[in-house]
Amino acid sequence: MDKYELKILTWTGIALVIFMVAVLHAVGKYATDLPECIPYDAAFQEPKISQLDDSTYQVFMLAQMWSFEPDEIYLPVGAEVDLYLTTKDVVHGLHIADKGINMMAVPGGVNKTTMKFRKPGVYEIVCHEYCGSGHQHMRGEIIVNYPKKN
| Domain extent listing, the chain | 1-32, 36-145
Q: What is the pLDDT of residue 150?
A: 46
Q: What is the pLDDT of residue 16?
A: 96
Q: Which helix (H) or strand (E) holds 15?
A: helix 3-30
Please count the other Cβ atoms lying within 10 Å of the Cβ belonging to residue 19.
10
Q: Is pTM, for the whole model, over 0.85?
A: no
Residue 140 and residue 125 in contact, taking contact as beta carbons nearer than 8 Å: yes
- Per-residue model confidence as pLDDT tens digits over 117-129: 999 999 999 999 8
Looking at the domain that runs over 36-145, which CATH code has it been given?
2.60.40.420
Burial 99-126 (b: 16+ CB within 10 A, else e): bebebbbbeebbbbbebebeeeeebebb
Residue ranges of the chain whose pLDDT lies below 70: 30-34, 146-150
User: Which amino acid makes up residue 60?
Assistant: F
